[in-house]
Homo-oligomer: A and B are copies of this chain.
Amino acid sequence: MFLGQYQHNLDNKGRLTIPARYRDLLAEGAYITQGFDRNLMVMTVDAFEAFSQRVRSMSITDPKARLLRRLLFSKGERLEVDKSGRILIPQFLRQAANLDSEVVVVGVGDYFEIWSPQNWNEQAARLQDAETNSDLFAVFDISPG
């Protein structure tokens, strides 16, 4: 499971060192795609392929389905982890998520996210906001037992 958060650097070739704790999960490679909040999502092979299969089964004559295809696949890329435990983030994705040299890597369970520091800070501020936290999650029905 992907946990915690890390501050890492992209080198000038666009490579990102994966936190060592994550590497076992990405041994067979990974998929990266654009997230929903100006960030990037890195998923295991299984998670991505299950997801993509649903989109691929939709008709290509349906305009909305075509949009969905483009959204998912044109922003997606297959990744391999190199010997030093790094992945190469394609240029168009760095651009899409506003990534400079500093990035924040955030574990969120089944996948992890890559953020620019400023976007992450905004997000972190929302998490800190006690008011938001207290009633925002009331709609969910969660019991730990």
Quick one: copies of this chain in the complex?
A: 2
Contact present for B77 and A3 (CB under 8 Å): yes
Q: For residue A60, which residues in chain B have a CB less than 8 angstroms away from its CB?
A: 36, 51
Indicate whether A136 reaches chain B with its CB closer than 8 angstroms.
yes
Q: For residue A73, which residues in chain B have a CB less than 8 angstroms away from its CB?
A: 1-4, 107-109
Q: For residue A68, which residues in chain B have a CB less than 8 angstroms away from its CB?
A: 61, 136-137, 139
**Which bracket fits the contact residues of A?**
35 or more
**Which chain A residues have a beta carbon within 8 Å of chain B's beta carbons?**
1-5, 21, 36-37, 43, 47, 50-52, 54-56, 60-61, 63-64, 66-78, 90, 92, 106-111, 113, 123, 126-127, 132-134, 136-137, 139-140, 142, 144-145
